[in-house]
Structure formats: structure tokens, C-alpha cells
Structure 1
């Protein structure tokens, strides 16, 4: 194990929690100040980075380079369904339920500033859904697992170097980036681990708060710190068992279970909910999204709104970028560049958009028919109240709400086990790290999340915002993959005789 990276990254995470225990207000002020600086000075750069990443990935996929097979395997290790299931469950977790219900509703209540004000009217449905599609669609997914994944797979499987975040810089620096004393290499690994750890501990604690509310609403279980800690403990137990059994068993099994449950819930909501409204609005909002894609992706108007929404999401996803690229590299051996890009940048976003249209669209229709029925609980109780309010208005809503809580729990469990696996990979450079190290990181994430919960809800919000701050250096780590992936594709195309050597 890379002890330098382990001690520094682990020390930074523990220091953050200790400082939060000593003076949470000081931590919040520091993070809020840093967050505002990041949003002000790096928002435009992030917009261009995500757009360029998506365009280059699509061009590679549709070109002759799309035939390149990655990972030095003639056939994929995982079936297409299992592969897509693991991708979806790992990357969709944070938005699986609560954001899907709440974000479209928030944009419906107040139309995003890019569009004419149609707040609360039928004309405001397409802008509301389209804005959600942008934040959880093509650009976000592509950043999490296309160009960076191509570079990492080349460095590890084709050139034999360790599977570490620093591998993304291999086309630029060559072999020296993997030396133990490489300052840039060590800094890249440390930054990537700290960023994704912050982005994982936040959602774990956030889940405890959300499910605590849901259990209180459904079963009148007291929504206390003890309840939240029990929820997190169950989550950590599930994730530990999953990661201990490995990617090919535990993580894959949980992913398949969750996809099945999610599809079942989606079908149920389509049947008992406003079916035609959901389908019609998904199609029309998808068209609206495509029509305004570039304008939305490069919007630079209301800076305050951008900081709350688009820049926040871009920072969040950038923070996850290096580790998600490692995970997708691990499960994508034998896939072509075309398969990788289409699965991650096209299929997964369309599935996500449809899920948002089902959950969020149902809430919008209910709110339109009965103003205040969803927006008021959302305003007073936050995102979990919004989900419960939607379920309350549907036939069999009690059972659907239980289903949503279960799906959320498994969604986050699959993220925690996947992130723990990738952090272990980053520290060892081996895509089969020891079971002890994998379980260790699950337990560390769980314990630190429980400590944050004990400090208070504001500590959870602080660490979620912290990932946007860490996204600043991460975004510069991901930048070289824009041309690095193209260089890798050219070399592999010659090796695999897809193009002739000039």
C-alpha cells in the first residue's frame, strides 16, 4: 500500500472531522467562502471542460476509433445487463430518489433564469424537466467515465502500470508519474481520494437524515440521532458485505437487485400515476433539452443561481470523476470505446432522465392539479418531505414509499462499496486489492459519517459543499484526458490494426 498517500489523505479526512467537532461554524464559514470562490472563478471553466469531454467522447465513439477494444480482452468480463446495472447504480445513487423528486419540482415552482418565467404553469414543465436533464444527463455522465476511463485502462491493462488516479496523467508525463517520489503523482492520488471521500461521507450522512424522516413519516419511528445512526449502520453493513465479496459478486449482485427494484417502482408509478402526462412530457422535455442543449450547458447569466445549481453539480461530479473512472475501468475490460461511450454517455443519461420524468413529473402534475400539495411540504420539510408528499397522493402510496426507501438504501450502499473498492485500488495500484483494505474503507466512511451526524446536520451540508472546493484541483487533473484519450486511441488503433501505421 502507498503509505504516503494513505497517511496524508486519511489525515486530511480525520482532521476535517476533528475540526468540525471543535468549531463547526469556522469550518462552515471556510467552506462557504471557498465554495463561492470556486463557483465565481471556475464555473465557466467547468462548463467548457464537461462540454469538451462529452463532444470528444462522442466523436471518438462514432469514428473508426470506436472499434478499439479496451483492457486486453477479446470478450467483455460482464454481460451487458450486469455492466449497465453496475454503472447505473454506482453513479445514479445520489440522485436516485430525492433529487429526482425534488429538483424538477423546484424548477417548476421557479423557472430557471435562462427561460421566460412560466413558474407553476404548464408552459414551465418542459424547462423544469430539461434543466434537471442537463444536471443529470449527458455531460455529467460522460465526465464520470469516458475519456479518463480510456486513459486509465490503457496505462493499467495495456502498459502494466498501477491502477491509480495518477494514471490519467500518463500520456503527459510518461512512466515517471508512477514513481514513488513523484510529487505530482502523489498529489493527484491524494486529491482524488480526499475529494471522493468527502463526496461519499456527505451522502451517507444525508441518507441517514432522509431515511430517518421517511421512517418517521411512514411508521412514526422517532426521527432522532439514534435512528439516523442505525440507518447508517445498516447501510455500512450492507456495503461491507458487498465489497468483501468483490466486484464480480457482491457489488454486481446489489446492482442487479437495485435495477430490478427501480424498474418495478418505475412501472408501478407509470401505472398508478399520470401515465400519459409522464410519457408526453418526457418526450417533449427531452426535445426541449436537446434544442437548448448548448445554451443551457454554457449559460452565464445569474451567477447566484448557477452557484446553487449547475456549478454545484459540476463540482460534485468532477470530485467523483477520478474514482468513478477507475471503477468503470475495472468493470469494462473487453468493451470497445464505442460501447463504453454509448453506455455511459447516452444510455445511462436517457435512463436517468426517464426516471426523473417519472418521479419528478408525477410530482409536477400533482402540484399543478392541486397547488401547494407538494411544494409546501418540500419547502418546510426538504427533499424527503417532497418524496413522501408525492407518494401520499398516489394509490398504494404507502407501499411505494417503502419501496423508495429500500431502493435509496441500496443505491447508496452500492456507491459506498464501489468507492471503497476504488480507494483501495488507488492505494495499492492493484485492481484486486485485499478484502481487509476494502472493508476497512467502508468502515472508515461509516464511522466518520456517524461522527458528522452526531455533530449536527450542518456538518453533513458542509462536507457536501466541500467536494465542490476539492473539485478545483480535480478539474485540472481531468483536463489532460481530453487530448490524452485521443493519443491513446491513436496508439491502440495502430496496435489493433484498425488503422495503418504512417
Structure 2
């Protein structure tokens, strides 16, 4: 095993940034043509390979739990005598924090209500449609996303902390290609990881900026146009890029603390005033339905038109986020066993997400009924306003609405700042403390890239463009993750043969 060289090797940086820059230029000067190409690619992948997204995630689920409960589960992510860097409480807290993001805030009301109005099976706007809607939301935000993240996180943590390889996705393929991870094959894998991360994060930034813009419109009447959304992105990009350049770590920690405390505050507030008993009933019923239908829902293909816009999009989105979130959960899990890692990463954040969605979704259904359909009317008009329409039915709206904007901004800045760090690391040979200039470069690139996609799509349609691009970008990385599973299994088998615990 040879040395990987220093972070001065800029091959991944130059190639990935050049191609992404070309994409941005293409979108600026030929936006319609880019939209046509993206839509044709989307149609091809979802029509001909939608089954592969579902089957792959099912395989990832079986694989990760199979490894966790096998004889390999006691292997440490580190040397045999390494101890965890963080206490259990600190570790759990960080994993919970990793489960909170822009997407969870954006879809917490909108998605349950949209499934309620237009379910993939049966009649909409019925009690059964509400149960189906909540079960689907649990499915999309439950265990499956964190299984995907756990695959990538396990690979990064195992090969970095136990084998001493660079903190790069390509390192996971050492058992298959050996020192060629430092050559063109390894660089290609890391470039695809950069693409997946950029496209996945762009989707989240697009969702967050759209919700901020429509929130400003909903509260203060500021017109939410593609230009307004682009200005929001530009301002947010300036904030987190300046923080990165100037090293304002305390400022970023402050933003993270705001996100956590506001998230908890909103959950408690909505739980208390949104219909406590209905929320608890909803959570209990949905949790049972979720586990009862776990296998069937995982492989269900009864409505492909619906699946393309929802489940296939989500699985592609999570796959695109795998290098990003995988890096985070890996970094905080040194010294844990594989079994501890898998169970904590897949169950704790998903459990938090289910509680979050039960509170928001249950309250939305309750308040919608009490207001004679005010929330579903808002969703029909513009689903990005769903969160604010729900808050409007609760006390203290003049206070909670601006706080909601702050929560979304804090989630936006936190995700973007973390993504710039991961992208800088991926393009500096796995340097775990990448250069600040490189981080700022990727911050600007993410902002520019997302703005282009927003302008190409225009208004709410921009979110569809972002979804389309995510699915296209995630496809090659899905294939990489399948190969990654085999590589992990092969490495663990060799470790067992060499006497590893």
C-alpha cells in the first residue's frame, strides 16, 4: 500500500470543477437546451431503471444489517485498542443533529398533505388517504435514507480509521483494485462523488431558498420569483462563504445551535398546540403501519408515474447525499464497532425524523380540519408555503413565522458550510483540514450552480428541475455503492482471516 501523495495532487479538483463550470456556463447561455437534456435523461433513467433504484436500496438494507449482525459486527472502526472520541451522549447528539436539515423542514407539512390529496393508490382526501400519506412519509424519511448513508459512512470510517487510507470514497475500493485507487480509476470514483454531492446539495439549497422566498411572500408580501430565490441563494452563499474564509467557527457553531434549539422549540410548540392526542394517535398508528408494510413498500412499483416523482427521487437524492452525510457520520464514529455504528446511524436519526414528521404532519391534518381546509388550499396553491400555512393556524404567528425563516436560514447555512468542507476534502486528496480558499471556491460554485438551476426551471418548476438533475447525477454513484458493498465484504473477510475481531 503506497502513500497517496499530498493534497497538492489537484486532479480531482481540476477535472470536477472544470466540468461543473462547463455545466454552469451551458445553463447560463442555453437554459432551455439544458432543461431538455435533463428531462430526457430523467425520463430514460426513471422509466428504464426505476426498478434498479428500488432494488439497490433494498439490497443496501439487507447488506448493512447483515454485516452488523454477522461475525463482523464486533470489528472496530479503528485499531483494536482505539476508544471512541466522543461519549455516547455526544455521539447520539451529533447523529440527531445530522438528521435535521432543510429537506425535513421543507417537506414536514407539504409531503403529508400532498400524499393525502393525491395518494398513489385509493381515493384522496379520506381518512385512509391520511393514514397512507403518513406511512409514505415515514417510508421516505425513515430507515432507508440512513441505510444509504451508513453504507458510505462505514466504508469511509473503516478504510480511514482501521486501514489508514485517505478519507476518500475511492479508498473503499482498495480490496478490489489495490494501489490503482491513487490512479485514474480512483480519481474517477472521487470525481463522481463530487458530482453526486454537488447535485444533491444543490437540490437542498434550492428547496431551502424557495421556502425562504415564499415565506417572505407569505409573511410580508415580498414577491417570490426566480430572481428573488436567486438573490436569497446569493446572500446565503455570501454568508457561509465569508464565514469559511474568515474562519468564523464560533459563528457557524452559533448557527448550528440556533438550528437545534429552534427545531426543538418548534416541535414542542406544535406538539402542545397542534393537537397533542391526535399527534400521538397518528404516530402510534403510522409506526405500526410502517413496520407492517416495510418489505412490501420497499419493493412496491404499483404506480410508476407516482414513483418517479417521489420514491425514485428520494432514493436518488439520498444516494447523492451519501458522500456528504457518510463523511459526517464516519468522522464522529471512530472507535465504535460496526454493529454500534450501523444501529446508531440507521435507527437514531430515522427515529427522530419519524417523531418530527408525526408532530408536523399530525398537527397539519388536525389544523386543516379545524380551519375547513386552509392548509390543503395553501398546498394546492403553492406547496412551498405549507409550513407557514400551518403556523398561521397556531398562536403567536407574528413571532413563530419570522423564527421559521431563521430556522430555515440556519439549516441552509449549516448544510452549505458542511458541504463546502466535504467537497474541499474530496478534491484535496482527503485532507481532513482542507484549505479555506478551496472551501470558499466550492461555496461559490454551489451557489452559482443552484442559481443556474433555479433560473432554468423558473418558479416552483425549478424544484422539479433540481429533482431531475439529482436523479441523473445519483445514477452512476448508485452503481459505485453497489460495488462498494462487495469491496467492504471482501475487506472484512480478509480481516477475519487475519485474526481480526
Instruction: With the length of structure 2 as denominator, give the TM-score of the two structures.
Output: 0.90
Equivalence for 2:486:
483
**Contact conserved, 1:195 with 1:471, CA < 8 A, in 2?**
yes
> Could you tell which deviates more after superposition, 263-272 or 35-44?
35-44
> Which residue of the other structure, out of 86, 110, 126, is the alignment partner of 1:102?
110
Compared with structure 1, are the counterparts of its residues 260 and 84 closer, same or farther at alpha carbon in structure 2 (3 Å cutoff)? Answer: farther
> Which residue of the other structure, out of 27, 37, 46, is the alignment partner of 1:20?
27
Following superposition of structure 1 onto structure 2, how do residues 236-275 of structure 1 map, counting pairs within 5 Å? 236-240=237-241, 243=244, 254-275=255-276
> Which residue of the other structure, out of 33, 37, 49, is the alignment partner of 1:42?
49
CA separation in 2, counterparts of 1:217 and 1:297? 37
- Per-residue CA deviation, residues 70-120 of structure 1 (Å, 9 max, x unaligned), is 13472323344544444444454242212111111111112222xxx2522
Q: Return the offset for 1:364.
A: 1.6
> Could you tell which deviates more after superposition, 215-224 or 422-431?
215-224
| Matching of residue 9 in structure 1 with residue 31 in structure 2 | no
Equivalence for 2:141:
136
Q: Return the offset for 1:281.
A: 0.6
Q: Return the offset for 1:492.
A: 4.9
CA separation in 2, counterparts of 1:129 and 1:313? 16
SS of 2:427's equivalent in the other structure is helix
CA separation in 1, counterparts of 2:39 and 2:451? 22
Equivalence for 1:412:
412
CA separation in 2, counterparts of 1:325 and 1:39? 25
| Matching of residue 60 in structure 1 with residue 63 in structure 2 | no
CA separation in 1, counterparts of 2:268 and 2:247? 31
**Contact conserved, 2:96 with 2:348, CA < 8 A, in 1?**
no
Compared with structure 1, are the counterparts of its residues 334 and 438 closer, same or farther at alpha carbon in structure 2 (3 Å cutoff)? Answer: farther
Q: What is the CA RMSD across the aligned residues, in angstroms?
A: 2.6
| Matching of residue 467 in structure 1 with residue 470 in structure 2 | yes
Segments of structure 2 that go 5 or more residues without pairing to the other structure are: 1-7
Q: Return the offset for 1:61.
A: 2.7
Equivalence for 2:398:
398
Equivalence for 1:329:
330
Equivalence for 1:119:
124
Q: Return the offset for 1:262.
A: 0.7
CA separation in 2, counterparts of 1:104 and 1:219? 26
> Which residue of the other structure, out of 48, 66, 78, is the alignment partner of 1:71?
78
Following superposition of structure 1 onto structure 2, how do residues 36-435 of structure 1 map, counting pairs within 5 Å? 36-72=43-79, 74-90=82-98, 92-113=100-121, 117-144=122-149, 146-179=150-183, 182=184, 184-223=185-224, 227-240=228-241, 243=244, 254-383=255-384, 385-428=385-428, 429-435=430-436
Q: Return the offset for 1:282.
A: 0.8
> Could you tell which deviates more after superposition, 88-97 or 168-177?
88-97
> Could you tell which deviates more after superposition, 251-260 or 100-109?
251-260
CA separation in 2, counterparts of 1:401 and 1:224? 20
Equivalence for 2:5:
none
Q: Return the offset for 1:213.
A: 1.5
Segments of structure 1 that go 5 or more residues without pairing to the other structure are: none
CA separation in 1, counterparts of 2:246 and 2:138? 35
CA separation in 1, counterparts of 2:499 and 2:273? 52
CA separation in 1, counterparts of 2:99 and 2:420? 14
- Per-residue CA deviation, residues 259-283 of structure 1 (Å, 9 max, x unaligned), is 2221111001111111111111111
Q: Return the offset for 1:196.
A: 1.5
Q: Return the offset for 1:370.
A: 4.2
Compared with structure 1, are the counterparts of its residues 244 and 171 closer, same or farther at alpha carbon in structure 2 (3 Å cutoff)? Answer: farther
CA separation in 1, counterparts of 2:163 and 2:258? 35
Compared with structure 1, are the counterparts of its residues 297 and 18 closer, same or farther at alpha carbon in structure 2 (3 Å cutoff)? Answer: same
Aligned length: 490
